[in-house]
Each structure stands twice: as structure tokens, then as C-alpha cells.
Amino acid sequence: MGILGDEGLPVKGSVEYYVALAHRDRIIRGRHLAASNDQLFPLTFSGGNDTLRIPPLGHLHYAYVSVGTPSLSFLVALDTGSDLFWLPCDCKEGGCIRSLPFSSGQVLLLNIYSPNNSTTSETVSCTNSLCKHRCPSASSNCPYKVEYLSYNTSSTGILVEDVLHLITDDDQLRAVNTSITFGCGQSQTGTFLEGGAPNGLFGLGMDDLSVPNTLARNGVASNSFSMCFGHDELGRITFGNNGSSYQKETPFNVGQAHPTYNVSITQVAVGRNSSELGLSVIFDSGTSFTYLTDPVYTFISKSFNSQVQNKRTSFDSSFEYCYELSPTLNYEVPSVNLTMKGGDQYFVTSPTLVVDIEEGNVVYCLGLVKSEDISIIGQNFMTGYRILFDRERMVLGWKESNCYDDKNANTQAFSPSNSPAVAVNSEATKRSGSNSSIPVATPSSHSPELKSFTYALTLLLVSFFAIV
């Protein structure tokens, strides 16, 4: 080794000198990166990034979140169609669900949040900039009331601040705790009391109060997040995810009075039929199924119907196009392809759902409902994708994924982009859980009204809670 110079380096100009400089640069650069980006790694919930679609609770994706000190866990519905994160809290009589009964006779007790029981909790006053509701006085606690369009559903209470417990979504699993403003939901109505969001709702919308905005404002994550929707009903959620160079994208439509994850469809293709019809749609994880207005709804449904070989049937359902099906046979349906603004194509990997309407009587339906006013891409049309909600670049991204390994584009045996028809195994689809005969209520504040539905708990929930 060369002789050390005044700064502890080898003699200037020697080979060792340049090796040492390069090594020091790497160390310094690494320290700088750690200092600047230590809190900007992708994050997820402290219990992990897993999400699960639970059909008896509304076909939505749910995850456990931990809040407060000491921390309590809550099973919340993940909703990109609404902004406020709320938890059942200091419940007024009849205003919350405190337990979930099972057919086996077992009962799952649900946690109820209380600001008085958390040492890190603070109420939000009416002078806080995040308080946008009318207050009785400046010194009062900030009230809130969110009304959802499905079945007179609402959540009412006060705003509070407390710690949300997260971890880095990597191999290190480092804890990241950050203050968050959310609703102390003292009184819930409608489907929230029937199981739609029995233990809270996690608002992922665009408003200042939404969780992604708060994480970005606190400097712990970039202002974006992704959700993955697997064919096996499992999924993932990651905050601060900036997407992939392989994903497809389309810009959000900006300038709305109430900003949503709204994008434009410019072309529609169903099997052999294509059309230049276009419309604006909201990507909403808080809506179970997909709702489209005319003329696009009629084009897709009639084009689909004209290319299906099975006999059409009807039963008590909001789905207009359903077909008889043998439980042991495969069936073939036309592909559904949406061209987004900018030209990237979005292939719907699961356009149908299998319905077991009675013992031995199975049908499948086009998972599409006609809407009179607003168009929504619901969870069923997001299946098979990791969806990126990039609020910094204001784009929606999507990439086919099985939610286990993003290097594998899709676990399905077909490629929708290469065929006008998609072959589906009815037994496999049925086992995946798409067996509700009626579209259920959804918590999204942007969702259209649906028929009333009584949420029945099944053994699926028992196995789910046993796993987590």
C-alpha cells in the first residue's frame, strides 16, 4: 500500500489513492442517500402488505392497520373512491359493530378505538386547517360526517390525530410511525352496520385528508401508492411505490370539483367488435363491480352477448347478462379490451363471475352493471393487475401481476391480448370466491345505489382470521 498523505489517503496520484477516493465516495454517497431517502422507501402496514378480498363483506379488499399507543389492530376496507380514514370509536348506542358472529357459533370481537386510551392521541380542533366542517365554536372538536351513496350509508364523529404504525416494504421491515388524522366514527349507518366495513374504512382518495396525502405531507413516503388484485382473492398494498418501467399508463383527468382517480377510455373492443366510443371512468377499489353508462355499457354487453355460446338466463340479480353453465365444463367468453387516453390498452382479465344460485345450478354473468350517471371501474375489472395511483405525476399505471412475483406477468393460462376469446374454468372461478348472486353494497362515496343485501358471514372469514 502507498504512503498515507495528510488526509489519511495514500500518496496523491498513486493507484491506491484513486481506489481509496472511489471507496470514500461510495461511503459518503451511501450516507447521503441514507440520510435523504431513509424515510422514502416504500411502506406498508405494520402487519404486512397482504390484503384479502372477502366476498361476504362486500367483495372489497381488506387489510389490518395498527393505530395508537398501545397499538390496536383494525380490519379496514381499502377504498380509493373516498378520502377519509375512519375507525369505530367511542361508539354511540347502535352506532358500531362490536363483533362478527360465525355459523360455527364462534364470535370475533372487534377493536373499538378511543382517544382516551391512546397516549399519542389528540383531538383536532375547529381551527385546524384540515377541519372543513361547520363548527359550533372555534374551541370545539372538529366534527365530520361522510355520506355514501349506497343505502343511506354514513359515518359521523370527530377528527382525531394519532400514530399510524407502518413498516418498510422490503427485507429490512423497519418500523416507520407517523401521525395521521382520521375520523373517530361514533355513529355508522347503513351497510357499515351490516358488515360492509365492520371495523373501519381506509380512505385512499385524492383529498388532503387521505392517507397517501398525509404520508407525503409528513415526508415519509412519496405521493403515490399501488394496490394489487390477485385472481386468488389475495392482494398487496404499498405506499410510496413509484411503479415500473414496464407498466402502462394514462393521465388522470384533472380540474374536477371533487378530484378522483378519473381517467378517459377512448376505444372499446369486445372480441371481434370494436368501437370508437369513449367515456371517463373512476378507478375505485371501494366498488365491488364495474358500472358504465350508455352508450358504452350497451356496446359492451350486447357485443359480449352476441359472441357467447351458452344459453342466456335470468335470476334475481343486478347483472343483466347471465348464462347457464355446467359446473364441470370450461366456457369461452369474448375478451374485453379498453384503450386508455394516450393509447395504452387495458385488457380485462376477469370480465365474468361464476354464480352458484342453488345446489347444482351454476351460471356465469358479465360483471357489469348499467349506471345512469357515473362510470366506475370496480375491483372485478382490476383483478390480475397491480394498479399504481401516482399522485405526483398524476397518472394511473397498471401492470399484469399475480401479486406474488411481479416478474411473472400473470398466472392465468390465457393471454387476453392475443385472443378475441378467453377460456375460463368454471370450477376454478367458483373456488376463487366469485359466488355472490347479487352485487353487494359498496362503501365508496362515489358508488351508485344498488339493491339491499344482507351480509352473511361464512367459513371463509374463519379461515382468514385464523391466518392473520
For the chain, domains (ranges, CATH) are: 43-221 (2.40.70.10), 248-406+415-437 (2.40.70.10)
Query: What pLDDT is attached to residue 103?
Result: 63
Can you read off the three cell numbers belonging to residue 437?
348472486
Helix (H, G, I), strand (E, B) or coil at 308: coil
- Give 385's strand partners: 229, 400
Low-confidence ranges of the chain (pLDDT < 50): 1-7, 12-15, 17-19, 21-39, 407-419, 423, 425-442, 445-468
* Burial zone of 26 (CB within 10 Å; 0-12 exposed, 13-18 middle, 19+ buried): exposed
Q: Indicate if 284 belongs to the active site.
A: yes
Euclidean distance between CA atoms 203 and 180, whole angstroms: 12
State the Cα torsion 358-362-367-373 to the nearest 10°.
-40
Euclidean distance between CA atoms 83 and 105, whole angstroms: 36
Q: Which is nearest to 42 in space by CA: 247, 261, 283, 237?
A: 237
Cβ-contact 120, 162 below 8 angstroms: yes
Query: What pLDDT is attached to residue 2?
Result: 38
Helix (H, G, I), strand (E, B) or coil at 416: helix
Q: Indicate if 208 belongs to the active site.
A: no
Query: What pLDDT is attached to residue 453?
Result: 22
Choosing from 50, 79, 83, 169, which is the catalytic residue?
79
Helix, strand, coil content of the chain in percent (nearest 5): 15, 35, 50
Euclidean distance between CA atoms 468 and 84, whole angstroms: 25
Amino acid at 246: Y
- Give 330's strand partners: 425
Cβ-contact 51, 61 below 8 angstroms: yes
Cβ-contact 50, 61 below 8 angstroms: no
Choosing from 50, 162, 169, 284, which is the catalytic residue?
284
Which contacts qualify for 453-456: CB closer than 8 Å, 24 or more apart?
453/191, 453/194, 454/194, 455/56, 455/57, 455/58, 455/191, 455/194, 455/195, 455/196, 456/56
